[in-house]
Structure 1
């Protein structure tokens, strides 16, 4: 039996058990051995006097009377048994486990694990333990209905006994020795069967570093693949034309924008494939940087594409860039999913025939049905929805085009390492001159009238307002503001003096586009919307943002919403209307009122919510680490990142004898493993 054999070949694993294991992500015997416990129960027996109230512990005692089972409600069962522990009579209670009755035999010793109630001298039992357990720690695994703890432990025992001696090292010996890491054999043994807390701690430390290091090694290998000479296009753009275009812009570039333009243009001219992330805070001017880069690609004789997450944003960009590029005789073509008939056929003809210099659309642009004449450069806006493999797949579109990804979600270094480790990163860390900080206030829901009064006053001076709520319609499950009810309420408050309109994701594309166009023209003064307005919508005359139930959103979303206002030269206001129900939500409200800096907010969000929520959902492209946590284990992550960088810098082909096992490991990986 081999480590890479299907787990179904293991003794005791039938089709049903195999299905249950697969659901846990266990497909091979190797997967089973590296399926580690998430915690351990301490099985050391300690004197009762040393236990804190409600502490979980191991108890050994003699059964002094028969157990009693009683029923106290529908499907509610209580099992009580009296144990003599240290000359003290302790009542142990198990809830809804009547079958444990047969485990307790009068005058015999038994071991139980449970929670100590100091005042009552009582134990709330959790499990009955084998008396002959050899270890002080009991591993606890994530399981499901098909695979119980006991069964999983039995299978891991069997797998280790039959294949444990096949475990070979993948971390190079010099690294393992320098950081005092366990071998893979000892790691697996001590993670599953630790004899002491010290053993489990050493194993967990090794497991965390190993997971991070192998991920970083994959990233470095991918980065190396992306940057090999001759791999990409060499776009010899027209520098004089580029300078002429920049002079036509209605504003001067900031120092940060100039620096980033130079970095991107150097990539374009290089024969190596561009794989760069452009990050900048809300309103920092990323779009104009992308426009300059796309124009550079056009002067080199190639097409460029800009992909954005929503049709509203695609249409907005198309309108802006058409106006911007008219003077340079560059043709901008819009392609969205809702386009049909003659309009769609015309757009496809322009793209395929090469008449479209710059194509703007949603992610549908990379579908197989879309054929570019000579695509050399792709810009992806709000890149955080894509993982490493999706970015890699984009290289296969057109002529292996250069790739620039953009995000307005500032990324703490911890997440940049894990999420965009294979990309070069450019940062716009400066806002355009004249931008005023947005005044942000937190109001309780019963104080919302204050925000509405200020909004009415600002509207009288010609401003416009966004009002955002978390839901479209009323829900039986949640007492949250919804945009439909809010629209009715605010229409009654502001009209007929000011026009109030509604915008949400269930409206058709035409309806949404018409509403946004009317808002842009100031035919609508108050736009009541869901977070469909979160990304990229730019209405310079809008200077008021009201966010109802603001505690339902993360800091990243709140910051994006706030960034929809303050685009002009007038003072802008953001009101967070919320009655937060927990300390974390209160902290979010407080932090939002203290800073407009997206990078500070990202760091705060990371500390408050952990890495999985920064980008809003599970499709963020963040790797799904099984053992390490990039936030709490940050030191280990940063060290592993640096070690992998240094290793590939010194031995990029992993040709040294001590690096060959790692090279073989990376070569056998499935492309999708750990990346998405």
Structure 2
């Protein structure tokens, strides 16, 4: 059976089973779907056709007995000579002494390795065939470890396929497979592991990639359906006239994009289904005012609203802004953070439980056990990727299954939104408010650093403030980068004692960081030297310069986030990138930063140049790690898979139709394995 442990195969003992488990292989099913990451073309070539250092297969007769030489601890060299027509070639294998038994005088052998044209020798990598074995012309290369060798893994896959290859269930319904010309499961597995030609491998990969995306999208659709069905979502009958009255008091007019997303969110809140929406907007696009309006909508329907943010400084800034915004409105707003005094905390907890407090703004303090809500109807999470899935869940479970609005200033291309947020509805603010000052971005080399100093001095003279960002906080022998401590010392020396310069980095205690950020926000510090801890949206309207050292070490999305820390007031703002890129891609990345302030354009470019994993970094982002498919390179397949999975659930929500039986079984197995579909 496919669910049998790999130990049921011959040759798999405890040690080998441990090695396979490290690769994620514990069952026959895991093994059959553990696909090669690339293929080697092993066609035999004539010697005069081979380029220097080319990887190639040579086939000839063994004309000298193989000799193994030992030249250090666990280091060996195996030499064997084979004759190809009238030429004798020396083949050398390093640290593979066991291959000695593969060669017998007079036998024919096929070996694969790297050709040295000058010496007329081959550095062998593997023996493909001997007198009594077949020579494959095209072979897969698998990710392996020190306990699992390529050749043994290939033999194990063959054994598993011969035993259970005919038992593979068809995960993709027949009509979909026919429509998109996809291979059946057995043909996918055979084509991926044992292709005879590159074309066969390509056809198998196309179907395997779709299958992987399809199964992932099924999980997202099931999660969305599960949320809608089980949450008994709140209907929040907000007072539209009260919202209009609030909007009329604003000192500016909402942009077209802001009006659109307010309408989308409010429609969700009024609907009986549970809202799970992502508000995506570039730095400075006005997400906070949108959040304020929809939180007020909840309050007009006699529900409470909570805004959770990642840092105390940011919580305090939101509290100050919202308190000013709702002056004269019947809204009771409170702030709850780790720094809240015991007396105030006790009063706030009482007010939340009684319903006296309408808005609560805070950090993860909002999800502590002692915090209880009277009628929490809306949860807004700012910079949502900074919170883990469990933290978001705890806050949702605090109320009456409240609606959830997540916000992010990290522009996510449509390419990735399908994978990262497939279970959420997405609203996008795709324009900046009128009058927002564009940030002038320049890129200079390190030997032009004096120009950056001149800009900083000029801006400080005009009453502005400056950020100076660097990727490291201490000396590193491995990476030769400008570090925060050195930059701090350099700027202190250059700017003189009359300029207040401070250092901020991730290894400081939270209280220390908050103290420095408050002082910078209040204008007591003029230049803040920092690592990327300032990336989270802190608002310093007086900051007009963002200096980023070794800018080529950051992704475009991260550079854009950092750049967005300045230009929040009415003065012109400047971002200076200091970098000596080592390649063309680095030059291209620095150049595009100077050409556009559009975060979505940059995010698409970052995705194209670096891939999804580099943009989001940690697992908290929710991005899946696909084994085979590439969300960027295989985007068309991903988009079709999402569309197909969505249609299946729209037409057959309970998966009761016979053709969906395997899908239902698959999703049930995922639930049992993980406890849920999250």
Same fold (TM over 0.5): yes
User: Equivalent residue for 2:318?
Assistant: 317
Aligned residues: 675
Instruction: Please give the secondary structure, in 1, of the residue aligned with 2:616.
Output: coil
Distance 1:100 1:151 in 2: 13
Q: CA deviation at 1:223?
A: 2.3
Q: Which moved more, 1:558-567 or 1:627-636?
A: 627-636
For residues 219-238 of structure 1, the aligned pairs below 5 Å read: 219-228=220-229, 231-238=232-239
Shift in CA distance, 96/667, structure 1 to aligned 2, threshold 3 Å:
closer
User: Equivalent residue for 2:84?
Assistant: 85
User: Equivalent residue for 1:127?
Assistant: 126
* Residues 615-646 of structure 1: CA deviation (Å, up to 9, x unaligned): 23343211111111111112211222222233
Shift in CA distance, 344/154, structure 1 to aligned 2, threshold 3 Å:
farther
Instruction: Kindly indicate whether the alpha-carbon contact (under 8 Å) linking 1:419 and 1:623 is maintained by their aligned counterparts in 2.
Output: yes
User: Equivalent residue for 1:545?
Assistant: 546
User: Equivalent residue for 1:51?
Assistant: 50
Distance 2:56 2:443 in 1: 45
Q: CA deviation at 1:177?
A: 1.3
Q: Flag structure 1 segments of 5+ consecutive residues without an equivalent.
A: none
Q: CA deviation at 1:675?
A: 7.4
Distance 1:229 1:160 in 2: 41
* Residues 353-399 of structure 1: CA deviation (Å, up to 9, x unaligned): 33332222234533555322221111112223568787667654421
Instruction: Please give the secondary structure, in 1, of the residue aligned with 2:327.
Output: helix
User: Equivalent residue for 1:109?
Assistant: 108
* Residues 289-339 of structure 1: CA deviation (Å, up to 9, x unaligned): 111111111221122111222233222222222232333242332233455
Instruction: Kindly indicate whether the alpha-carbon contact (under 8 Å) linking 2:214 and 2:641 is maintained by their aligned counterparts in 1.
Output: yes
Q: CA deviation at 1:84?
A: 1.3
Distance 1:569 1:278 in 2: 25
User: Equivalent residue for 1:354?
Assistant: 355
User: Equivalent residue for 2:140?
Assistant: 139
Shift in CA distance, 429/272, structure 1 to aligned 2, threshold 3 Å:
same
User: Equivalent residue for 1:298?
Assistant: 299
For residues 264-413 of structure 1, the aligned pairs below 5 Å read: 264-337=265-338, 339=340, 341-385=342-386, 395-413=396-414
Q: Which moved more, 1:248-257 or 1:288-297?
A: 248-257
Distance 1:267 1:72 in 2: 72
Shift in CA distance, 94/495, structure 1 to aligned 2, threshold 3 Å:
same
Instruction: Kindly indicate whether the alpha-carbon contact (under 8 Å) linking 2:277 and 2:425 is maintained by their aligned counterparts in 1.
Output: yes
Distance 2:465 2:290 in 1: 28
1:181 equivalent in alignment to 2:182: yes
For residues 227-266 of structure 1, the aligned pairs below 5 Å read: 227-228=228-229, 231-266=232-267
For residues 272-671 of structure 1, the aligned pairs below 5 Å read: 272-337=273-338, 339=340, 341-385=342-386, 395-670=396-671
Using the size of structure 2 for normalisation, the TM-score is: 0.93
User: Equivalent residue for 1:151?
Assistant: 152
Shift in CA distance, 310/207, structure 1 to aligned 2, threshold 3 Å:
same
Instruction: Please give the secondary structure, in 1, of the residue aligned with 2:474.
Output: coil
Distance 2:136 2:385 in 1: 45
Instruction: Kindly indicate whether the alpha-carbon contact (under 8 Å) linking 2:61 and 2:82 is maintained by their aligned counterparts in 1.
Output: yes
Instruction: Kindly indicate whether the alpha-carbon contact (under 8 Å) linking 1:62 and 1:107 is maintained by their aligned counterparts in 2.
Output: yes
Q: For the aligned residues, what is the CA RMSD?
A: 2.5
* Residues 237-274 of structure 1: CA deviation (Å, up to 9, x unaligned): 12222222222323221111111111111111111111
Q: Flag structure 2 segments of 5+ consecutive residues without an equivalent.
A: none
Instruction: Kindly indicate whether the alpha-carbon contact (under 8 Å) linking 2:40 and 2:141 is maintained by their aligned counterparts in 1.
Output: yes
Instruction: Kindly indicate whether the alpha-carbon contact (under 8 Å) linking 1:215 and 1:674 is maintained by their aligned counterparts in 2.
Output: no
Instruction: Please give the secondary structure, in 2, of the residue aligned with 1:64.
Output: strand
Distance 1:674 1:594 in 2: 45
Shift in CA distance, 345/605, structure 1 to aligned 2, threshold 3 Å:
same
Using the size of structure 1 for normalisation, the TM-score is: 0.93
Shift in CA distance, 673/572, structure 1 to aligned 2, threshold 3 Å:
farther
Shift in CA distance, 216/67, structure 1 to aligned 2, threshold 3 Å:
same
Distance 1:244 1:75 in 2: 80
Instruction: Kindly indicate whether the alpha-carbon contact (under 8 Å) linking 2:367 and 2:391 is maintained by their aligned counterparts in 1.
Output: no
Q: CA deviation at 1:279?
A: 0.6
Distance 2:481 2:340 in 1: 35
